[in-house]
Structure 1
Amino acid sequence: MKNKKKNESGGLHFFLVILISLFLISLAGFLPIRGNCSDLTLKETSLGKIHPGIVRETLQISPLGNRVAYVAKNGEKYLMVIDGIAGKEYDGIHLPISIFSPDEKTSIYAAWRDNKIFTVINGLEGKPYARMSLLVFSPDSQKIACWVATGEKETELKAMVLINGKEGPAFDWFGSAGPGPLGRDVKKYQPVFSPDSQHLAYVALKGNGELMVKDDQEGQEYKEIANFPIFTPDSKRLAYLAKKNKKWMAVLDGVEGQEYDRIDNLMFSPDGKRLAFIAYRNDNQLVVVDGKEGKEYQMIDKIIFSPDGQHLAYIADIGQKQVLVVDGQESKPYDLINHLVYSPDSKHLAYSAMSGQREVVIVDGREKTNHQFVVSFNFSPDSQKVIYTGRDGMEAVDLFVGDKKIKTYDEISPVVFSPDGKKMAYWAQKGEKNFVVVDGVEGAAYDRPDYLFLAKYEPIFSPDSKNLAYVAVRGGKNLLVINNLESQPYDEILSQPKFNSPESLHFLAINKNEIVKIEASLKSSGK
C-alpha cells in the first residue's frame, strides 16, 4: 500500500514537471525581469529581419510607436519594407513626411516606374502621373492629399491636388523638371487640412500669379503668396500672407488687411480669436494685432500669445537695449532678453534677461536670481513655480524651483513633469556618471548617450503619474529602465517608449539585426 502511494506521488510529480515545462515553453516570447517589489515582463514580437540594403536615414516609426518602415536598395532598384514585409521593387521611391496615418492603419508612399509616379497605399498602386509630391494625411486619418501633374512635355504640365484619388481643379506645375518628386523647397505649396479634417487649403500657381484654394474654391490671384495656409484651432478661419503692388498684406477669410513692406510671424492666438504678425514699415518694425498697430521699433522678436489668448508679449529693440512689451506696456531695458514663457494658466509671465555680465530671472516683472547665464526655463504644470537651470562658470549647472536652488550638477536636461504635476524628472551628469533624478533621488548610473537631450532619452511618466520609464545606455547598448528595473540590452531602442496604460508600455528596438516590438508589463507584488 505504501509503495502504491509512493508510485502515485512520483507519477503526479512527473506530471506537474511536464505541465510546468510546457507552460514555460509557451512563454518563450516573454522575458521576465527580476525585481524586489515589482515584476517587469517583456513580450517580443518580430517585425522582421533588417533588409541588407536598408537606407537607414529613411527609417520611420509610426505616430503611436507600433509600426516601422524604411526604404531598401536592391541593385539599381528600391523597395519599401513595412513591418518586415518587403514591397515591390521600383525605379525610385519618394517618402512623405509621415509614411503612416495618425491612427497607424494606413501606409503611403510614392513610387516611380518607367518615368511615371504613383501612390502606393497599403501596398496597392494608384493611377500613374507625370509628377507627384507633398503627400499628407488628414488629422483623422481618413483622407490623403497630394499634388500630381499630367502631361508629356514640361511646358504642358498641369497640376492638381488629389484627395483620396479625386482630382481637383487644374493649375500650373511648380516643381522639378525631372520625373518623381520635387527638386526644390516648395513647402508653401503643401496642402493643409484643417484640424477637424473637414477642409483642405493650398497655394496654387496660375500664370504669373498665385492664389489660395480652399475646398476647391479659388481665392483672389496675387503676385505671390508667402506661406502655406493657417487655420484656427476650431477650423473656422483661414489666414495667409499675400503680395500685391509690391506690398504685403495679411488675408483673413478672404478679406485683405493693411499693406506693409513685409510681414513675418503670422499667427492665430490659441483660442483662434486673434490674429497677429510683425509688419515692416520703412526701416522699422511693429506688431499688428487684429488690425491694430502697435508702436514701431528697430526690431521685434519672439511674439507669443498667452494660452488663453488674452495677452500678447514680444521682445523689441530700442537702441542697444531690449525691452519686453506685454499688451503694449514696456519693461525696463536690458542688454538681451531670452526664454520668454507664459504659465499654463496664463496668469504669469517669466523670462530671463542679460544685465551686464549676469542673466537675471524675471517673473511677473520682478527680478529673482541671477546667473552667468540661464540654460533652460519653464513653469510647473500648476503654474505656481518657475523651474529653470542656471550656470555660474562652466563647471556646474544649478536647478532652481522658484527662488530655491535644489540641485547642482555638471549638466542637467530639461525637466519633465508627471501628468498630475507633482513629480519631476531629468537627466543629470556628475563627472563620468549619468543618471535620472526623480524628485531629488538619483537613479542608477549609465553611460552618456551620444546626445543627452535626444527625444527618445527623455524620461516619461505613466498616465497615473506612478511609474517612470526611460531609455538608458550601457556598453554601447540601449535598455529600458522603468521604476529602476532594467530590461535586457538591445542594440538600439528606436524611439521613446509609450505607455498603453499606467502599468504597460511598448517600444521598438533593434536586436541582432532584427526589429522587434517590445510590450512591457509592470505588476506590483501587492496586487
Structure 2
Amino acid sequence: FTFLAVPAWAHELLDDIVCDAHQVTQLGVLTSQDAYLPVYVYRQELHDGMEPVTKDFLVIGHEKQGPYDRVASSFRFSPDGQTLIYEAVTDEKHYLMVGNEQRGPYDAVHWVGFTPNGQGLVYGAEIDAKHYVMVGSEKRGPYDWLGLISFTADGQTLIYEVQIDEQYYVIVGNKKQGPYDTGIWNFTLSSRGQGFAYVAQIDGQYYIVTNTKKLGPYASRIDDLVLSPDGQGVVYLASTGGDFYLVAGNQKTGPYDLASSLTLAPNGRALAYAANINDRNYVIKDKEKFGPYDQNVANFIFSPDSKTLAYAASINGQEYLVAGNKKWGPHDWIALFTFGADSTTLAYTATIDGSYYVMAGNKKMGPYENVGHLTFASHGPSLAYTAEINGQKYLIFGQKKLGPYDDVSADPAWPEDHPFTFASDGQTFAYQVRIDDDFKPRLFMNNEEYIGSIHNDHILYIKENKIYRKAP
C-alpha cells in the first residue's frame, strides 16, 4: 500500500472514492506515523444473469478487494494502526483478512483481539461444528462450544470459556478451570491488573471463582458481584437460608428479604444496591439507607467522579429521579438517565401524559413517542439522543434535528448498546443510520451532517466524493 503523507491539525484531502458516497457502509483509516490511507466498504448491486445481487467491496486507497457477499459489520485495526483486519463472507464461508493474508475458510468467526504485544491475532473460529481459539500461530481445540473470549485488564492473560465432552471449563492462560455443570455467569474483570471473577455451578451448587480463590458453595445462583479495581477484593449479594446478605471478605451486611442491583462506583470505593427490609424497599449506599420506596429500585449510576449516586424511585405512585440530595419529578415514568462529564450535569427521559420528554438542567425537550441513546460527550456538556416523532426516527443534538431514518445507532453489530462516538472537541460525533435495511456511517460536524466516522479521534468525512481527514 502507498501511504499519503498529510500534515496534522487540519482538514486534509486523503483521496477520491471509487463509488457513490451513499454506497459507503464503513469508513476508517490506516496510520503510519504521520501518513494516512483511507479504508472503506461500499455495497453495490450487480447484475449477474437475470437476478440482481448485492455485493460488498473493501477499498484501501485505490486497491479494491472483493466482491464479497458481505463484509462483517466492523473492520478492525492493529494497535499500531498499520494492519487492517476484516471478516468477509463468500458462499456462506467466513474468511478473516489480516493485511495481505487470508485466513479460513471458517463456518463462523467470533471475537477478534490482539495478543499483549499487539503482534498476534486472537479469535474464535468454527469449523465443521467444532470450535477453535486461534492465538497467534497456535490453534487451540477442538471444543464442542465456545463462549466468552477476553483478556485481563492488563492484557497479559487470555481467558475463554469452552465445552468439552458435555462439561464446561474456563481456560485461563494455559490452565483449565472446572469442570462445571453449565456455562458460567457474571464474568467480571477488574479495571486494572489480572483480576477476574465469575459464577460457576458444580454438582448443583454455586461458587464464585476468582483469579486467586473459590468462594461458596451457595444454594442459589449469585447474580450480583463486583471486583475492586485491583481485582483483589470481591463483593457480592448472596442468599443464605432464605435471607440475602452483602458479603465482602469476612464481613456480611444484612439480613435482607431481597437484595439486588449491586453497583460499584468508578473509583471502586463506594457501593450501592437495592434492599427489601420488612416488605419495604430501600436503597443502600455504603452505610446510608434511603427510602422507603414503593417498588424495588432496579438501576443505579454513579457520577464519573464517584461522588453522586442517581436512581429512579417510585414514591406514592409517582416516579422521581434521585441524585444525592436532589429530587426531580414527579413523572409517570423515568426510563433513562445519565451524567455529563462534569459529574454535575444530569439528563433523563420521563413520560408525562403518555409522551416522552428529555430533561437536562432547566430544559425540557419533547414531546416524543420514544427516546433512546441518551449520551453526553466525554468532554463538555453536549447531549445527543434519538427520538421517535410521528413514527419516524431522528437524532437530536441541541436544537438540531437530523433525519428521518429507519433507525439510528452507534454500531450496527450492537444497535441497542453502544453510545454515539464523540470527538474530543465535544461537538463532532459519529453514529450509524439504517436506510433501506443497510447501516450507513454518519458524522455531525460544524452543524452539518456528512457521510463519515471517527477513528482514534481522527475525523473522517466524505464531501463531493472525496475523503477528508481532520486531525485530533
Q: CA RMSD in A?
A: 5.0
Q: Which runs of 5+ in 2 are unaligned?
A: 1-9, 31-36, 413-417
**Is residue 363 of structure 1 aligned with residue 363 of structure 2?**
no
| Residue in 2 that maps onto 1:241 | 199
Offset, 1:263: 2.0
Look up the match of 2:306. Answer: 346
Residue 146 of structure 1 pairs with residue 118 of structure 2 = no
Q: Secondary structure at the match of 1:344?
A: coil
What is the aligned partner in structure 1 of residue 144 from structure 2? Answer: 174
The answer as to whether partners of 2:159 and 2:171 remain within 8 angstroms in 1 is yes
Q: 1:174 to 1:60 in 2, by over 3 A?
A: farther
Tell me which structure has the larger Cα radius of gyration: 1
Q: 1:361 to 1:81 in 2, by over 3 A?
A: same
Q: For the structure 1 residues 358 and 139, does the alpha-carbon distance in structure 2 shift closer, same or farther, using more than 3 Å as the test?
A: farther
Q: Give the counterpart letter for 2:293 in structure 1.
A: Y
CA 1:446–1:61 in 2, change beyond 3 Å: closer, same or farther? closer
Deviations 1:25-83 (A, max 9, x none): xxxxxxxxxxxxxxx97847345438xxx9x9xx6555999634479999899987322
The question of whether the paired residues in 1 share the 8 Å contact of 2:94 and 2:109 is answered with no
Q: How far does residue 268 in structure 1 lie from its aligned partner after superposition?
A: 2.1
| Secondary structure of residue in 1 paired with 2:77 | coil
Q: Is 1:45 matched up with 2:15?
A: yes
Residue 274 and residue 116 in structure 1: after superposition, are their counterparts in 2 closer, same or farther (change >3 A)? same
Residues 56, 71 of structure 2: 8 Å contact kept:
no
1:300 deviation in Å?
3.5
Q: CA deviation at 1:106?
A: 2.6
Q: Within the alignment, does 1:463 sit opposite 2:392 as a pair?
A: no
**Per the alignment, do residues 68 and 301 of structure 1 end up closer, same or farther by CA in structure 2, a change over 3 Å counting?**
farther
- Given that 2:267 and 2:306 are in contact with CA atoms closer than 8 Å, whether structure 1 keeps it comes out as yes
Instruction: Name 1:30's counterpart in structure 2.
Output: none
Which of 295, 318, 339 does residue 254 from structure 2 map onto? 295
Contact 2:26 2:42 in 1 (8 A): yes
TM-score, normalised with respect to structure 2: 0.70
Residue from 397, 401, 407 that aligns with 2:357: 397
Distance in 1 of aligned mates of 2:409 and 2:94: 39
Whether 1:161 aligns to 2:118 is no
Tell me the distance in 1 between the aligned counterparts of 2:194 and 2:386. Answer: 45
Give the whole-Å Cα distance in 1 for the aligned partners of 2:231 and 2:65: 43
Give the distance between the partners of 1:66 and 1:299, measured in 2 at CA. Answer: 54
How far is 1:353 from its partner? 0.8
Separation in structure 2 between the aligned mates of residue 446 and residue 391 of structure 1, nearest angstrom: 22
Matched, 1:258 2:216: yes
Are the structure 2 counterparts of residues 225 and 427 from structure 1 closer, same or farther at C-alpha, using a change threshold of 3 Å? closer
In the other structure, the counterpart of 1:25 is none
Equivalent position amino acid for 1:381 in 2: A
CA contact (8 A) 2:27 2:453 kept: no
Distance between the aligned counterparts of 1:94 and 1:413, measured in 2?
A: 28
Q: What is residue 195 of structure 1 aligned with on the other side?
A: 153
- SS of residue in 2 equivalent to 1:236: coil
Match in the other structure for 1:332: 291
Q: Indicate how the Cα distance of structure 1 residues 245 and 418 shifts in structure 2: closer, same or farther if over 3 A, else same.
A: closer
Q: Paired residues, what number?
A: 432
1:237 is displaced (CA, Å) by 2.1
- Superposed displacement of residue 451, structure 1: 4.2
Shift of 1:136: 1.7
Report the alpha carbon displacement of residue 128 of structure 1 after superposing the two structures with TM: 7.0
- Per the TM alignment, residue 288 of structure 1 is displaced from its structure 2 partner at its CA by 3.3
Partners of 2:195 and 2:441 in 1: CA distance: 46
Cα drift, residue 399 of structure 1: 2.4
**Amino acid paired to 2:157:** H
Counterpart position of 1:316: 275
Find the counterpart in structure 1 of residue 177 from structure 2.
219
Alignment check: 8 A CA contact 1:315 1:324 kept: yes
The structure 2 residue matched to 1:304, chosen from 241, 258, 263, is 263
Which residue, 358, 366, 370 being the options, matches 1:409? 366
Shifted more, 450-459 versus 139-148: the winner is 450-459
Contact 2:115 / 2:136 at 8 angstroms: preserved in 1?
A: no
2: CA distance, partners of 1:110 / 1:464: 34
TM-score (norm 1): 0.64
SS in 1 for 2:306: coil
Q: Which has the higher strand share?
A: 2
Report % sequence identity: 18
1:376 Cα offset (Å)? 3.3
